[in-house]
């Protein structure tokens, strides 16, 4: 019988069961498929309430998006300015400005909360 997940041990057990069900390749609508769906919801709720995940470093997020879109450093000039400025930003020698943040959010879809992350936690050179 499925119950809410309240402890780390229950969470780990649920994750193991989800893994086992995934390995079986359960079908939607089957009893095991329903179990998988409900366990996933319970795990998600537990994670939201108990596991804090910090947003990624803004520069690493930009680099990740560049890679996923097949962009090179020069492609960012449109959003960040001259290629030398792009280099400074990507090497953490220059902070993002508000216009840069807006452009990266609007054009590349990088979440604002990632781009405006607390600069005190970022090691600028």
The verdict on residue 99 lying in a domain is yes
pLDDT at position 55, please?
A: 75
How many domains in the chain? 2
Answer yes or no: are the C-beta atoms of 96 and 76 closer than 8 Å. Answer: no
Residues 66 and 98 reside in one and the same domain: yes
The verdict on residue 108 lying in a domain is yes
Range of the domain at 34: 8-50
DSSP symbol at 97: P
% the chain with pLDDT above 90: 70
CATH code, domain with 105: 1.10.260.40
Residues 73 and 95 reside in one and the same domain: yes
Residues 65 and 104 reside in one and the same domain: yes
pLDDT at position 10, please?
A: 95
Q: pLDDT by residue (tens digit) across 50-76?
A: 988 777 899 999 999 999 999 999 999
Nearest C-alpha neighbor of 111 from the set 36, 67, 57, 73: 57
Tell me what the pLDDT averaged over the chain comes to: 89
Q: pLDDT by residue (tens digit) across 14-42?
A: 999 999 999 988 888 898 999 999 999 99
* Cα–Cα distance for residue pair 64/114, rounded to 1 Å: 12
pLDDT at position 53, please?
A: 77
Q: Quick check: pTM over 0.85? A: no
CA 6 to chain centre: 24
pLDDT at position 122, please?
A: 57
Q: Which two tokens stand for residue 109?
A: 């879809």
Other CB atoms closer than 10 Å to residue 47's CB: what's the count? 14
Other CB atoms closer than 10 Å to residue 12's CB: what's the count? 11
DSSP symbol at 25: T
Residue 50 C-beta-side C-alpha neighbours within 13 Å: 14
């Amino acid at each position: 019988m499925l119950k809410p997940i309240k402890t780390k041990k229950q969470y780990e057990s649920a994750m193991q069961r989800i893994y086992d069900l995934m390995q079986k390749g359960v079908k939607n609508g089957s009893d095991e498929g329903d179990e998988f769906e409900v366990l996933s919801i319970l795990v998600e709720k537990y994670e939201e309430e108990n596991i804090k995940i910090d947003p990624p470093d803004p520069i690493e997020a930009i680099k990740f998006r560049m890679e996923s879109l097949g962009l090179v450093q020069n492609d960012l000039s449109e959003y960040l300015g001259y290629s030398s400025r792009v280099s400074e930003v990507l090497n953490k020698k220059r902070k993002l400005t508000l216009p840069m943040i807006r452009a990266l959010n609007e054009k590349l879809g990088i979440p604002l909360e990632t781009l405006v992350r607390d600069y005190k936690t970022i090691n600028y050179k």
